Amino acid sequence: MLPLRETQRAFAEAIVEGKYHAATVAMAADGGALRSVALYRRLIRNNYRQALMITYPVLLRFVGGRYFDILARGYLTAHPSISGDLFFYGQSLPTFFDKVQVAPLLVELARLEWACHEVYQAANSPPLSQDQLQALASGDPSQVTFHVHPASRLLSFPVPVHRVWQTLQPDASADVVVELPLPEEETGVVVTRGDGKVRVTPLAMADYLLLKAMARGVDAVSVERMAIESEPDFDFARFMTTVLSLHVIAGLSVEQGV
Amino acid sequence: MSVHYPAPIPAQAGIGLRSHHFREILDTPPSVAWMETHPENYFGGGGAPLRVLERIRSQYPLSFHGVGLSLGSTDPIDHAHLGKLKVLIDRFEPAFVSEHLSWSSVGGRSFNDLLPLPYTPESLDHICARIDEVQTVLMRPLLIENITRYLTWQDSTIPEGAFMAEAVKRTGCGILLDINNVYVNAVNFGLDPLDFLNAIPARAVQEMHLAGFDRFGRMLIDTHGQPVCQEVWGLYRWAIHHFGPRPTLIEWDTNLPPLAMLVEQATQSDAILKECHVAAS
């Protein structure tokens, strides 16, 4: 009698590596062992594929089902699932794409879709309170740092890949066309959530870089200085209004007694 | 262990809550007694899914049906996963929390499917220790569900029904009895479904599941993607008369139909539950 752990390992070996011997020996000799393992392999692979399809609906529409399946099989081999929660299964798809050198546009699209996937369910955070805004207006701005909302992601791309994302939404008509190639144009986007829906908003590069600085914990005075250094007539009030309207900032910290 | 006993769900039919139906359920709340959901779908901590669940919870009793705990695995229990489950349970106070009598991970690799245990004394000791561990963390009894299986382990020496009954006896857990799974296993392996059902202690059965299957070659596969078949309705009627009326879920996860179809299946289930109430009175 195989110990339970050995039985589970033998089954895993059959599923992952196609080494059926140990697992089939542990199964009843009713002639169906090989068929059973093959069936489980198929069911399990389908679970992973379905998880990727849910996480990457735009990528699926972009490349089509057949190529998506090939990518999904390759991904499974390189990045097996390590969590009982399939929400995380596609986390390394952009890294995998990068490594196997698929078209760079697909890498960027996967990065954007993973960010959308995370933001959709990320933790809630209340909007900035009146008191916090007051602290920003009246306090010493060199002591103010910002907390980025957990349901927001800042990303930059060598091409405006968000246009593909916007065009190929799952509810778009079947005959929609994406104009390619995209122009070489470095683009920053912020992924946020509003009314339960994920939004992808392109940002001017200066805005994107300042938001990145804020996310890194750079204080308000330094952020403003960076802005003016990048563009002498930078409209900082306009920038802050944009940031607040996008709900990218969830809180402020004000250093005391420094 | 300090145990939390939640308010019971009525012995009526409920439906599975799927994001595909969120809008329709919120706009026109269906006439069903309760809803069940996979807690893993709400582990993110925010966003639309949690907001919808809050609204559903304000209108319906809830049951949580976990799929990711890998209860029978020989890897350590994933306490991060269990912690997220506990947070959700504390927040939504579901009437039932259930998991499967199965394993899905080993050596740190997860298969995200419900894999059968060999029914041996070692497995029994193991699953009972794991159920104890989970119940201690959650501070409430767990329901364990019988699964479909597409293989038979040679080493299995304990009949599945007796295995579950002994787990109930040792841990105080309850049973979520999936009638479709009993039927699928019986057909696939030429078993008498009543052998299994007669071994199940009636008092332990807290909830039942009904679902549909697909055919793959000679095997029936528990896809939860079809209406409940006539044979399963028949077995359900037998089970309700044998065990008594129990909260019954119409489970539908793939090939999702319009919400009205789920409600129609729930109405059929309610009719059978009512038959039993009438017969008993």
For the record, the structure tokens of B111 come out as 């298969």
- pLDDT (average), residues B59-65: 96
- pLDDT (average), residues A46-68: 96
Residue A98 lies in a domain: no
Band (pLDDT 50/70/90 cuts) for residue B216 is: confident
Whether chain A has a CB inside 8 Å of the CB on B256: the answer is no
Residue A9: CB atoms within 10 Å: 17
Cross-chain residue pair B106–A87, CB shorter than 8 Å? no
For the record, the structure tokens of A75 come out as 């991904």
* Secondary structure element (H or E) that encloses residue B229, with its range: none
Q: What is the pLDDT of residue A257?
A: 53
Residue A99 lies in a domain: no
Does B4 have pLDDT greater than 60? no
Cross-chain residue pair B154–A26, CB shorter than 8 Å? yes
Does B27 have pLDDT greater than 90? yes
Cross-chain residue pair B47–A121, CB shorter than 8 Å? yes
Q: Is the dihedral of CA B121, B124, B129, B132 positive or negative?
A: negative
For the record, the structure tokens of A33 come out as 């062992």
Q: Which residues contact A231 (CB under 8 A, 6 or more apart)?
A: A206
Alpha-carbon distances, residue A172 vs A107, A159, A168, B236 (angstroms): 22, 22, 6, 43
Q: Are residues A243 and A150 in the same domain?
A: yes
| B 127-146: CB under 8 A from A | none
Residues of A in contact with B51 (CB under 8 A): 196
Band (pLDDT 50/70/90 cuts) for residue B18 is: very high
Does B223 have pLDDT greater than 80? yes
Are the C-beta atoms of B103 and A4 separated by less than 8 Å? no
**Residue A14 and residue A149: Cα distance in Å, rounded?**
44
Per the DSSP assignment, residues forming a β-bridge with A194 are A197
Please identify, among A39, A70, A89, the residue that sits at the C-terminal boundary of a domain: A89
Whether chain B has a CB inside 8 Å of the CB on A80: the answer is yes
Please identify, among A38, A63, A89, the residue that sits at the C-terminal boundary of a domain: A89
Cross-chain residue pair A44–B69, CB shorter than 8 Å? no
Q: What is the pLDDT of residue A256?
A: 66
Q: What is the pLDDT of residue B6?
A: 56
ipTM higher than 0.85?
A: yes
Cross-chain residue pair A81–B112, CB shorter than 8 Å? yes
- pLDDT (average), residues A131-144: 79
Does A181 have pLDDT greater than 60? yes
Residues of A in contact with B109 (CB under 8 A): 12, 16, 80-82
Lowest mean pLDDT among A105-114, A125-134, B254-263: A125-134
Cross-chain residue pair B151–A37, CB shorter than 8 Å? yes
pLDDT > 90 in chain A, percent? 66
Q: Are residues A147 and A227 in the same domain?
A: yes
Q: What is the pLDDT of residue B279?
A: 74
Of A35, A94, A96, the residue nearest A59 (C-alpha): A94
Alpha-carbon distances, residue B76 vs B12, B67, B120, B168 (angstroms): 37, 16, 20, 22
For the record, the structure tokens of A247 come out as 């709900």
Q: What is the pLDDT of residue B2?
A: 46
Residue of A76, A121, A197 for testing the chain B interface, max B β-carbons within 10 Å: A121
Cross-chain residue pair B67–A84, CB shorter than 8 Å? yes
Residue B59: CB atoms within 10 Å: 10
- pLDDT (average), residues A117-135: 85
**Residue A47 and residue A80: Cα distance in Å, rounded?**
12
Of A223, A108, A121, the residue nearest A157 (C-alpha): A108
**Residue B113 and residue B17: Cα distance in Å, rounded?**
20
pLDDT tens for each residue of B119-169: 999 999 999 999 999 999 999 999 999 999 999 999 999 999 999 999 999
Residue of A8, A195, A199 for testing the chain B interface, max B β-carbons within 10 Å: A8
pLDDT tens for each residue of B65-94: 999 999 999 999 999 999 999 999 999 999
Which residue has tokens 């049951």? Answer: B63
| B 64-93: CB under 8 A from A | 67-70, 73-74, 78, 81
Q: Are residues A67 and A138 in the same domain?
A: no
**Residue B226 and residue B237: Cα distance in Å, rounded?**
19
Q: Are residues A148 and A218 in the same domain?
A: yes
- pLDDT (average), residues A31-36: 84
**Residue B264 and residue B257: Cα distance in Å, rounded?**
11
Query: Which member of B49, B81, B155 has the closest CB to residue A2?
Result: B155
Cross-chain residue pair A193–B47, CB shorter than 8 Å? yes
Residue A124 lies in a domain: no
Cross-chain residue pair A4–B216, CB shorter than 8 Å? no
Whether chain A has a CB inside 8 Å of the CB on B190: the answer is no
Q: Are residues A140 and A70 in the same domain?
A: no
Q: Are residues A147 and A243 in the same domain?
A: yes
Averaged pLDDT score across all residues of chain B? 95
Cross-chain residue pair B152–A89, CB shorter than 8 Å? no
Q: Are residues A83 and A164 in the same domain?
A: no
Does A171 have pLDDT greater than 50? yes
DSSP strand pairing (B205-210 vs B174-178): parallel
Residue A185 lies in a domain: yes
* Secondary structure element (H or E) that encloses residue B234, with its range: helix B230-243
Averaged pLDDT score across all residues of chain A? 91
Lowest mean pLDDT among A191-195, B140-144, B194-198: A191-195
For the record, the structure tokens of A152 come out as 């927001």
Q: Is the dihedral of CA B266, B215, A86, B160 positive or negative?
A: positive
Please identify, among A89, A121, A147, the residue that sits at the C-terminal boundary of a domain: A89
Residue A95 lies in a domain: no
For residue A207, the domain's CATH number is 3.90.930
User: How close, in Å, is residue A79 to chain B by CA atoms?
Assistant: 10
Main-chain phi, psi angles of B229, to 5 degrees: -85, 165
Whether chain A has a CB inside 8 Å of the CB on B44: the answer is yes
Q: Is the peptide bond before A181 cis (omega within 30 degrees of 0)?
A: yes
Are the C-beta atoms of A249 and A214 separated by less than 8 Å? yes
Q: Which residues contact A73 (CB under 8 A, 6 or more apart)?
A: A45
- pLDDT (average), residues B241-265: 96
- Residues A101-139 as b or e (16 or more Cβ within 10 Å = b): ebeebbbbbbbbbbbbbbbbbbeebeebeeebeebbeee
Q: What is the pLDDT of residue B7?
A: 56
Number of domains in chain A: 2
Residue A167 lies in a domain: yes
Cross-chain residue pair B81–A83, CB shorter than 8 Å? yes
Does B241 have pLDDT greater than 60? yes
**Residue B200 and residue A207: Cα distance in Å, rounded?**
64
Residue A213: CB atoms within 10 Å: 16
Cross-chain residue pair B150–A36, CB shorter than 8 Å? yes
Report the number of secondary-structure helices (H) and strands (E) in chain B. Answer: 9, 12
Band (pLDDT 50/70/90 cuts) for residue A195 is: confident
For the record, the structure tokens of B190 come out as 């030429």
Per the structure, the complete domain to which residue A165 belongs is given by 130-254
**Residue B226 and residue B66: Cα distance in Å, rounded?**
21
Q: Are residues A155 and A220 in the same domain?
A: yes
Q: Are residues A147 and A211 in the same domain?
A: yes
Residue A244 lies in a domain: yes
Q: Are residues A79 and A138 in the same domain?
A: no
Of B1, B13, B5, B4, the residue nearest B246 (C-alpha): B13
**Residue A23 and residue A7: Cα distance in Å, rounded?**
7
Which residue has tokens 């269990």? Answer: B82
Does B3 have pLDDT greater than 70? no
Residue A115 lies in a domain: no
Q: What is the pLDDT of residue B5?
A: 47
| A 102-121: CB under 8 A from B | 118-121
